[in-house]
Amino acid sequence: MKLGLISLGCPKNLVDSEVMLGIIEKYHIEITNDPEAAEIIIVNTCGFIESAKQESIDTILSMSAYKTEGCCRYLIVTGCLAQRYAQELFHDMPEVDAIVGTNVYKDIAQVIERVMQGQRVLHLSETDFEIIDLEGLQGNERNLPDPRKLTTPSYMAYLKIAEGCDNFCSFCAIPLIRGRYTSKPYEQIMAEARELVERGVKELIVIAQDTTRYGQDLYGKLRLAELLHDLNALPGLKWIRVLYSYPNTFTDELIEAYATLPKVCHYVDLPLQHASDRLLHAMRRRDKLSETKKLLKKLRERIPDIVIRTTFIVGFPGETEEDFAILKEFVTEQKFENAGVFQYSQEENTVAATLPEQIPEETKQERYDELMAIQAGVSEDVHRSMEDRELEVVVEDYESEEDNLVAARSYREAPDIDGSIFVENAPGLNPGDFIRVRIEQGFAYEVVATRV
C-alpha cells in the first residue's frame, strides 16, 4: 500500500503532517511523492484566510481526479479546513472518504483502517469513535516525542511547542479552529529536540501560534526563555530560530536570552498587524503603538545586529486614510529588515466580519501595493548597507550547477519566508554546509555574495 500526503499552509500544519507520516510509517505503508502511484492520498488543508481555503479546495479536487486517473482508492482530508467546514465537506464532496479534525490527527492510523474496511469517516473529536490501542505508538505519552517523518531538509526542523491560541484577535479564526492555547509538556519538547539533533538537525525553528506565551497555561509562568537556555545546551545544534512572537509577552528575560545565548539567532518574528491604536483596539490586540516602539528600541539597543520581521494587515474594517498614514509612517521610520503585508480577509464567525465599514477590495489592493512598495525600498536600503559584511550561511541548494551559484540563508532569513543569499563561485558544496560569505551587492529581496 502506497500513501501520498500534501501539506498546505503554515509550518505548524507541516509538523502535524510529519507526525501523521511518522505514525503511518510504523504500519509499513510506503510513502510516495507520486500522486499517480498513491492508493491513499491525504490532503492536510489550511483554512486561515479566503485564498488559503480556495487553495485547499482546489487541491482536494485535483487529488480526487486520481481516483479515476491513477491508483487512488481512498482520499482523506485533514487540517484546518477539515475542522472548520467538516459537515459541508462531508456532504458536498462524496469523493472524500474521511474528514479528520485538527485535534485528532494522531488517530490517522485508525481512520485509514476504517476507510479500508469500507466506512466513510467523520472524525473531529476523541468521542467520535472508540480509540484503538495501536501497538508501538507512544506519541501521546507525556515525556516521549511524537513519531515523526521529517519532510524538511535534513539540517533543519520545526519544533512545535503549543497548540491553539488565546489571543482572540477579532480578525482571526485560529481559536475557532485550533481551540484554546495548550502548551506541550516541557519534557516532551526537550525529548523531541534531542531526538531531532541526534538525527542531524542543525537548525531548530521553534513555532506555535504564540510562542512567547509558552508555559503560562501549563505552569503558571512564561517559560520560553528557559526553553531557549536548555535548547542552547544541546551539543551538535547550531541555530535556534523563534517564529510567531507577540509583543505583550516579549519579556526582558527573553531579550536577555536572545542577547546572551550563542545558538539563538538574532532574528525576531513579531507580527504587529498595524500601527494605529484605534485599529489595534478594534483588532483586539493587546499592545499599543507606544509600547511596541519601546520594545523595538529595547531590542535594538540590547542586540545591535538584531533582525526584526513583522506582518501587517491593510484594509481592516474602518481603516481610514489617517490610520493608513500612521502605518506608512511607522514602516518608514522603523526600517524593518523583513515585513509581509496581507489584505484583510473577512472570515465568517469572527468579530471583525460583523464590523461596519468593510473596506472595498480595490482600496485594499491599492493600500497593499503602496505599503509593499515602501517596504521594498526599506529592504533594499537594509541589504545595501550590508555590502562588504561577512556572514555565516547555510547552503540550501544549487541555483545553477554550471555557474556554481548556490542559494543560502544566514541568521537573518527564515526558510520559505524571507529572501535568499546567492553565493557565486561556490563549487563542491552540499545542502546543510555552513560557510562564511562576504556580501557583494544588496537588492530588495535578496543579496549576492562570494565565499570567504
Residue 134: the pLDDT is 39
Q: Considering the chain, what is the average pLDDT of its residues? A: 93
> Are β-strands 434-442 and 390-400 bridged in parallel, bridged antiparallel, or unpaired?
antiparallel
Over residues 191-217, mean pLDDT: 97
Residue 116: the pLDDT is 93
Residue 251: the pLDDT is 97
Exposure string over 237-253, b if 16+ CB within 10 A, otherwise e = bbbbbbbbbbbbbbeee
The CA distances from residue 325 to 329, 402, 441, in Å, are 6, 48, 32
Residue 28: the pLDDT is 84
Measured in degrees and rounded to the nearest 5, phi and psi for residue 245 equal -90, 155
Residue 414: the pLDDT is 96
Q: Is 200 left (phi over 0), alpha (psi -120 to 50) or beta?
A: left
pLDDT for 133 beyond 80 = no
pLDDT tens digit sequence for 380-395: 999 999 999 999 999 9
Over residues 76-83, mean pLDDT: 95
Residue 377 buriedness (CB in 10 A; 0-12 / 13-18 / 19+) = middle
Residue 131: the pLDDT is 44
- C-alpha span between 221 and 183 (Å, rounded): 11
Residue 128: the pLDDT is 59
Residue 27 — very low, low, confident or very high, per pLDDT cuts 50/70/90? Answer: confident
Residue 316, classed as helix, strand or coil, is coil
Residue 190: the pLDDT is 97
- C-alpha span between 274 and 323 (Å, rounded): 9
Query: Secondary structure of 134-146 in the HEC alphabet?
Result: CCCCCCCCCCCCC
Residue 184, amino acid: K
pLDDT for 140 beyond 50 = no
Over residues 58-85, mean pLDDT: 94
pLDDT for 350 beyond 80 = yes
Over residues 256-280, mean pLDDT: 98
DSSP state, 262? T
Paired with 149 in beta bridges are: none
pLDDT for 295 beyond 50 = yes
Contact call for residues 201 and 234 (beta carbons, < 8 A): no
Those residues whose C-beta lies under 8 Å from the C-beta of residue 47, and which sit 6 or more positions away, are 53, 56, 79, 80, 81, 82, 83, 84, 85, 173, 177
Residue 95, classed as helix, strand or coil, is coil
Over residues 212-235, mean pLDDT: 97
Residue 58 — very low, low, confident or very high, per pLDDT cuts 50/70/90? Answer: very high
Residue 159, classed as helix, strand or coil, is strand
DSSP state, 275? S
Residue 321: the pLDDT is 97
Residue located via cell numbers 532574528: 267
pLDDT for 130 beyond 90 = no
Residue 137: the pLDDT is 39
pLDDT for 214 beyond 70 = yes
- C-alpha span between 110 and 19 (Å, rounded): 14
Over residues 56-78, mean pLDDT: 94
Residue 402: the pLDDT is 73
Residue 136 — very low, low, confident or very high, per pLDDT cuts 50/70/90? Answer: very low
Contact call for residues 413 and 437 (beta carbons, < 8 A): no
Residue 278, amino acid: R
Lowest mean pLDDT among 205-209, 303-307, 442-446: 442-446
Residue 129 — very low, low, confident or very high, per pLDDT cuts 50/70/90? Answer: low
- C-alpha span between 45 and 9 (Å, rounded): 7
Paired with 241 in beta bridges are: 205
Residue 143: the pLDDT is 61
Measured in degrees and rounded to the nearest 5, phi and psi for residue 372 equal -65, -35
Residue 87: the pLDDT is 92
Is the dihedral angle over the CA atoms 190, 193, 197, 199 positive or is it negative? positive
Residue 69: the pLDDT is 87
Residue 49 — very low, low, confident or very high, per pLDDT cuts 50/70/90? Answer: confident
pLDDT for 139 beyond 50 = no
Other CB atoms within 10 Å distance of the CB of residue 369:
12
User: Edge to edge, what strands does the sheet with 338-343 contain?
Assistant: 156-160, 203-207, 239-242, 264-269, 307-314, 338-343
Contact call for residues 414 and 269 (beta carbons, < 8 A): yes
Residue 401: the pLDDT is 72
pLDDT for 201 beyond 70 = yes
